[in-house]
Structure 1
């Protein structure tokens, strides 16, 4: 990473951290007086839009979307590829109100965690998978009924570039029982915002939305089949935009952000 890009990355993190402290404080003070939908837009969507903006204009990481016409008018379950922190910001800024599955420990982070707790995330204990699945089913259904999108990373953790993790059925089960579709989302953010380290590589992230996928029923076989279709679609897109290092670079890597 060049000296200039290193400096840009440092400035990006300083501005992001400062904005999180300021916005987190405002959210704790103002949030309790807002209805849930407005609170989610104020606390999560507005700040995440700022984070995506800083990423573009300070760190030099832009994005382009394909298939945005597939995004449903009504909230549903979003099943997204997980490579970095960027997609958490981006998808939270893209639709609202949105709740997401996250590690319970994140709610203890000063400012950021306090604000996140006010938008009713599905905070799970990853050390207890069975309890986490039950909580996802119960809280996820409540959120969908309340008109909120539910963002789930079915791989469970950030997966390195060029790899696919095993998909959990939790998101597919949630959608099937609610009679709603899953919206599959593929992207290659990890090539510009790596899973490990603090470095950032300028470029253009490809974000692709697939057609909404419905389960044939709410039985275990239908849920497994829906999950397999979502995983297969994302894997197919990732093979195109996120090939292993030995293969040619993606279009996004060849297009530096302005």
Structure 2
């Protein structure tokens, strides 16, 4: 019962504040890309703060970030890691499903922030557009975040990587940092959120230029480091 009450309070406050924040974002975007990125980071920080104060969710970090720009391949179990990675990596370019980029107002703001839109249908035109956006992010010196399994999965599930990861890896030629996390244990897709500590495990960098089978196998294994049978 306590978890349900905390979840309700969090939802009322966080989503209640998010609506006016998002509606005000187009005005902020008029003042430039850097302003909307700082504004977005403040929103992500708000979500993390409320999750800590209301839900009792704490973060532990193991391993190290790259010293320069990198491609971060992250396990996806909840909305929480989207907020956390944005905050920890200082406004990286996040690969986003096309469906999310089409949401009125929010999708436009996301594009002003500088996300990379991926089309699951995988048309040649959409792939070229994704690569162009990715290269533009790298040219700015930004890291790129992708959830290579493509969707949120509950703890214990380890779906194969989507094809978009390999194409992005070849195109931007950055080292890959696999990131394992266990956010699903405190932030399930259904039901109340629970207090606890979640660990983000940064793996050792994987160099650019590896064969597709090798890089996909290494990333898949390392982002699932908390799942039985997948540790190095």
Q: Give the structure-2-normalised TM-score.
A: 0.88
Q: Which residue of 1 aligns with 2:164?
A: 170
Note closer, same or farther for the CA distance 1:106–1:173 as it changes in structure 2 (3 Å cut). Answer: closer
Report if the CA contact (8 A) 1:99-1:150 is conserved. yes
2:5 is the alignment partner of 1:7 = yes
Matches of 1:230 and 1:103 in 2, distance apart? 20
Q: Which residue of 1 aligns with 2:50?
A: 54
Q: Where in structure 2 are the equivalents of 1:65-214 lying within 5 Å?
A: 65-67=61-63, 70-109=64-103, 112-126=106-120, 128-131=121-124, 132-195=126-189, 197-214=190-207
Q: Following TM superposition, by how much is the alpha carbon of 1:110 offset from its aligned partner in structure 2, in angstroms?
A: 5.0
Which runs of structure 1 show a deviation greater than 6 angstroms over 4 or more consecutive aligned residues?
Answer: none
Q: Following TM superposition, by how much is the alpha carbon of 1:241 offset from its aligned partner in structure 2, in angstroms?
A: 10
What SS does the corresponding residue of 1:212 show, helix, strand or coil? Answer: coil
Report if the CA contact (8 A) 2:97-2:119 is conserved. yes
Note closer, same or farther for the CA distance 1:52–1:147 as it changes in structure 2 (3 Å cut). Answer: same
Q: Which residue of 2 aligns with 1:21?
A: 19
Report if the CA contact (8 A) 1:181-1:213 is conserved. yes
Matches of 1:116 and 1:199 in 2, distance apart? 28
Q: Which residue of 1 aligns with 2:227?
A: 238
Matches of 1:154 and 1:233 in 2, distance apart? 12
Note closer, same or farther for the CA distance 1:194–1:32 as it changes in structure 2 (3 Å cut). Answer: same
Q: Following TM superposition, by how much is the alpha carbon of 1:140 offset from its aligned partner in structure 2, in angstroms?
A: 1.3
Across the two proteins, how many residue pairs are aligned to each other?
230
Unaligned runs of 5+ in 2: none
User: Mean alpha-carbon deviation: is it higher for 110-119 or for 149-158?
Assistant: 110-119
Matches of 2:11 and 2:191 in 1, distance apart? 9
2:38 to 36, 41, 60: 41
1:149-191 Cα distance to aligned partner (Å, 9 max, x none)? 2111110111121110101243344234333101110011011
Matches of 1:241 and 1:167 in 2, distance apart? 14
Q: Following TM superposition, by how much is the alpha carbon of 1:39 offset from its aligned partner in structure 2, in angstroms?
A: 2.6
User: Mean alpha-carbon deviation: is it higher for 168-177 or for 147-156?
Assistant: 168-177
What SS does the corresponding residue of 2:113 show, helix, strand or coil? Answer: coil
Note closer, same or farther for the CA distance 1:214–1:169 as it changes in structure 2 (3 Å cut). Answer: farther
Q: Give the structure-1-normalised TM-score.
A: 0.80
Unaligned runs of 5+ in 1: 243-258
